[in-house]
Amino acid sequence: MKFGEFPLSQVLGATLAHSVRLPSGLLKKGHILTETDIKTLAENNIAQVMAAIFEPEDMTEDVAAGRISEHIAGDHVTCAEAFTGRVNLHAAEDGLVVINEPAVHALNHMDEAITLATVLQNAIVHKGQIVATVKIIPLAVKGEAVEKISAEIENGLISLHPFRPQKAIMVQTELAGTTQKLFEKTRRVMSHRLDIFGASLMAEIRCRHEEAALTDLLLRTADGDQDMILILGASAITDRKDVIPAAVIGAGGEIIHYGMPVDPGNLMLLARLGDKWVLGLPGCSRSPKLNGIDLILSRICADRDVTGDDIMAMGVGGLLSEYAGRPQPRESRQRERKKKMPKSGNIAALILAAGQSKRMGQENKLLLPYGDETVLSHITGQVRQAGMDKIFVVTGHQSQEIMQQLSRYDVTFFHNDLYDEGMSTSVRVGVSSLPSDIDAALIILGDMPDISAGILRQIMAAYDPARGRSIIIPMHNGKRGNPILWDRELFREFDRLRGDMGAKILLNDYPEFIHEVEVGSEAIFLDIDTYEAYEHLKKT
Q: What percent of the chain has pLDDT over 70?
A: 91
Neighbour count for residue 154 (Cβ, 10 Å) = 13
What is the edge-to-edge ordering of all strands in the sheet holding 2-7? 2-7, 48-53, 15-16
Q: Mean pLDDT check: name the lowest of 5-19, 99-113, 262-276, 310-324.
A: 310-324
pLDDT tens digits, residue range 196-213?
899 999 999 999 999 999
The full length of the chain comes to 540
Name the architecture of domain 166-312. 3-Layer(aba) Sandwich (3.40)
For residue 358, the model assigns a pLDDT of 66
Q: What is the pLDDT of residues 499-508, one digit of tens each?
A: 666 666 677 7
pLDDT of residue 282: 92
Give the dihedral of Cα atoms 202, 208, 210, 216; nearest 10 deg. -50
Mean pLDDT of the chain: 88
pLDDT, tens digit (0-9, with 9 covering 90-100), for 111-156: 999 999 999 999 998 888 889 999 999 999 999 999 999 999 999 9
Decide if pLDDT at 400 tops 70: yes
Q: What pLDDT, in 10s, does the model give residues 438-466?
A: 999 999 998 888 899 999 999 999 998 87
What DSSP designation does 80 have?
P
CB 450 within 8 A of CB 526: yes
Q: How many CB atoms lie within 10 A of CB 517?
A: 20
Q: Which regions of the chain carry the CATH code 3.90.105.10? A: 2-53
pLDDT (mean) for 24-40: 89
Residue 45 has pLDDT above 70, yes or no: yes
- Give the pLDDT confidence score for residue 29 in this predicted structure: 82
Q: Say if pTM beats, i.e. exceeds, 0.75.
A: no
Give the per-residue pLDDT at 540: 61
Report how far residue 283's alpha carbon sits from residue 370's, in angstroms, rounded to the nearest whole number: 52
Residues of the chain with CATH 3.90.550.10: 340-539
pLDDT of the residue at 166: 95
Q: Where in the chain is CATH 3.40.980.10? A: 166-312
The CATH code that applies to domain 340-539 is 3.90.550.10
Which pLDDT does position 360 carry in this prediction?
Answer: 66
- pLDDT at position 324, please? 39
The C-alpha torsion from 53 through 58 and 60 to 63, rounded to 10°, is 160
Q: What pLDDT is attached to residue 449?
A: 86
pLDDT of residue 390: 92
The DSSP code sequence of 440-475 is: EEEEEETT-TT--HHHHHHHHHH-BGGGTB-EEEEE
Q: What is the mean pLDDT of residues 352-367?
A: 78
Q: Please give the CATH architecture assigned to the domain spanning 59-162.
A: Alpha-Beta Complex (3.90)
Q: pLDDT (tens digit, 9 = 90+) per residue, 173-203?
A: 998 877 788 888 889 889 989 988 999 999 9
CATH code reported for the domain at 2-53: 3.90.105.10
Question: Could you give the angle at the alpha carbon of 156 between the alpha carbons of 151 and 159, nearest 5°?
Answer: 165
Is the pLDDT confidence value at 242 over 60? yes
Task: Tell me the Ramachandran region of residue 156: left when phi exceeds 0, alpha when psi lies from -120 to 50, beta otherwise.
Answer: left
pLDDT at 203: 96
Strand ranges in 240-390 using DSSP code E only, listed in sequence order: 254-258, 269-273, 276-281, 347-353, 369-370, 373-374
Alpha carbon 49 to chain centroid distance? 41
- Rounded distance, CA 171 to CA 203, Å? 9
> Which value, in Å, is the radius of gyration of the alpha carbons in the chain?
28
Going by pLDDT thresholds of 50, 70 and 90, the confidence category of residue 468 is confident
Q: What residues does 203 pair with on adjacent strands?
A: 169
> Given CA atoms 428, 433, 434, 439 in this order, what sign does their dihedral have?
positive
Residues 57-106: tens digit of each pLDDT = 999 999 999 999 999 999 999 999 998 899 999 999 999 999 999 999 99
34: number of Cβ within 10 Å: 11
- What pLDDT shows up at residue 323? 40
Residue 333's pLDDT is what? 37
Residue 280 · residue 269 · CB < 8 Å: yes
Phi-psi region of 57 (alpha: psi -120 to 50; beta: other; left: phi over 0): alpha
Q: What is the pLDDT of residue 10?
A: 93
Residue-wise pLDDT tens digits, 312-357: 999 998 988 544 333 333 333 344 444 444 445 689 999 999 987 6
